[in-house]
Amino acid sequence: MTFSSLPQDTQRHITANRRADALMDEDVAWDEFSEDRDGEQFEREERAALRRVAGLSTELEDVTEVEYRQLRLERVVLVGVWTSGTAQDAENSLAELAALAETAGAQVLDGVIQRRDRPDPATYIGSGKAKELRDLVVETAADTVVCDGELSPGQLIHLEDVVKVKVVDRTALILDIFAQHAKSREGKAQVSLAQMQYMLPRLRGWGQSLSRQMGGGGSSGGGGMATRGPGETKIETDRRRIREKMAKMRREIAQMKVGRDVKRQERHRNEVPSVAIAGYTNAGKSSLLNRLTGAGVLVENALFATLDPTVRRAETPGGRAYTLADTVGFVRHLPHHLVEAFRSTMEEVGDADLILHVVDGSHPTPEEQLAAVREVINDVGARDVPEIVVINKADVADEVTLQRLMRAERRAIPVSAHTGLGIDELLALIEDELPHPSVELEALVPYTEGALVSRVHEEGEVLAEEHTGEGTLLKARVHPELGALLEPFVPATRA
């Protein structure tokens, strides 16, 4: 089928998609990496497919969830308010919003930016512009407007009154994506909690707009007085139920956290150093994890493909074991309660011995992404963790940008998770930066204790090794626990 033979709507959709794709470079050599598409890929597809099923699933537990789900986006028009920075900044921000909207499963039909000193307190873009936006909504047959910012409940209501379709903001969009992608029980619970927190003050606005839509054509404005009383009561009931549910959820999350802490402490006790991969969404964190460990983590040209922390074992070229954790991507203006909710992943970063801060070298503004991520890293108290800046996608990045980043960053390395460029150097750099075990010793380990020798290789650093008549002569750095096990084999008269 040729492009021009498509229905006009589809054409427009494709054009809009192309615009949105500009943000995320095309996955040109996808086939080469098709081995990366493991079971998880299908799972994701299945999850995506489920979203398309119309009607309400039986897993919905109460009316508040139903209301939230009815916000599912379909055909959207984007609107941004440009208050500072260059026109290019404003466009980048909207392109990112388009990518977010598509990640949430929406078709982006069009996008507009409004230049203002500050957002209009009543309607976000001002009432005149809101009317123009209404025309655009009618013309494109959009069913949702997505605003590039966090709107007050009042702004949402007022803007909805003018454009007469659902209005959602960036925060709601990100929450929606998180809800679709979270997989672990804890991740799901945290997203639900954040959604409810967001929903609570906005419940009334949403309730109103939904009942207006459900009231059928032409009846807007009618029935308001008559339904207000019972409506208020219902909202009060909903609010109470949401608060109760939130309290229950917080308790559950606290319990799950205990389990996770135990696991982490175990890793600490074994003194396996931990490396956390952090970075802006779509920078290539999961691709890097796959490249470094051969782990089959979902890689996708979509924002927030990863929402649950994945921890993998890895080894330095010298054979030392460490853990490598993939983390959720950061995004500018990450809703604050999501930063809170996602502390589980962030804690992984705060606790790490080393952060691999991945940045997309082919992005128009990698410096901004670095800054945005560092803000969050500081937020979770990981300021003092050593950091290696991994400038990814060097295969498609331009040389000038790479040079600029290399000059600006103290410890940076260009790599390509796709081609493997720079990966060996990165592995060596990781080995250098990992903390060294505290006990240095020499031991003569009898051949009957082969398992102990293996542990030294895996958990410590072997400085020298010699096979003698009596056993393996090792010079190594190990953690105290392993040091104690080796104690009997340390020749007493040495040194």
Ligand X SMILES: Nc1nc2c(ncn2[C@@H]2O[C@H](COP(=O)(O)OP(=O)(O)OP(=O)(O)O)[C@@H](O)[C@H]2O)c(=O)[nH]1
Contact predicate 355/349, CB 8 Å: yes
> Does 301 participate in binding ligand X (rule CB under 6 A)?
yes
> Does 417 participate in binding Mg ion (rule CB under 5 A)?
no
Task: Pick the closest to residue 67 from 187, 159, 164, 205 (CA basis).
Answer: 205
Contact predicate 327/321, CB 8 Å: no
The one of ligand X, Mg ion, none whose footprint includes residue 64, by CB under 5 to 8 A per kind, is none
Piece of 64-72, 243-251, 366-374, 389-397 that binds ligand X (CB under 6 A): 389-397
Q: What is the per-residue DSSP string for 156-220? A: HHHHHHHH-SEEEEHHHHHHHHHHHH--SHHHHHHHHHHHHHHHGGGHHHHHHHHHHHHT-TT-T
The one of ligand X, Mg ion, none whose footprint includes residue 281, by CB under 5 to 8 A per kind, is ligand X
> Does 305 participate in binding ligand X (rule CB under 6 A)?
yes
Minimum CB–partner distance for residue 273 and Mg ion (Å)? 22
Cβ neighbours around 53 below 10 Å, total: 8
> Which CB, 329 or 414, lies closer to Mg ion?
329
> Does 417 participate in binding ligand X (rule CB under 6 A)?
yes
> Which CB, 212 or 418, lies closer to ligand X?
418
Residue nearest to ligand X (CB): 329
Query: Coil, strand or helix: which one is 355?
Result: strand
Measure the CA–CA gap between 129 and 125, rounded to whole angstroms: 6
Piece of 147-155, 169-177, 299-307, 314-322 that binds Mg ion (CB under 5 A): 299-307
HEC letters along 458-482: HHCEEEEEEECCCCEEEEEEECHHH
> Does 41 participate in binding ligand X (rule CB under 6 A)?
no
> Which CB, 301 or 365, lies closer to ligand X?
301
> Does 369 participate in binding ligand X (rule CB under 6 A)?
no
Measure the CA–CA gap between 35 and 78, rounded to whole angstroms: 36
> Does 344 participate in binding ligand X (rule CB under 6 A)?
no
> Does 413 participate in binding ligand X (rule CB under 6 A)?
no
Query: Coil, strand or helix: which one is 366?
Result: helix
Contact predicate 314/292, CB 8 Å: yes
Contact predicate 98/20, CB 8 Å: yes
Mark 47-86 with x for binding to ligand X (rule: CB under 6 A) and - for no binding.
Answer: ----------------------------------------
> Which CB, 36 or 459, lies closer to ligand X?
36
Among 286, 327, 345, 392, binds Mg ion (CB under 5 A): 286
Cα–Cα–Cα angle for 483, 485, 489, rounded to 5 degrees: 90
Joined tokens for residue 402: 């790479």
Among 80, 187, 329, 414, binds ligand X (CB under 6 A): 329
Binding residues for ligand X, rule: CB under 6 A, are 25, 27, 279, 281-287, 299-306, 329, 392-393, 395-396, 416-418
Binding residues for Mg ion, rule: CB under 5 A, are 285-286, 305-306
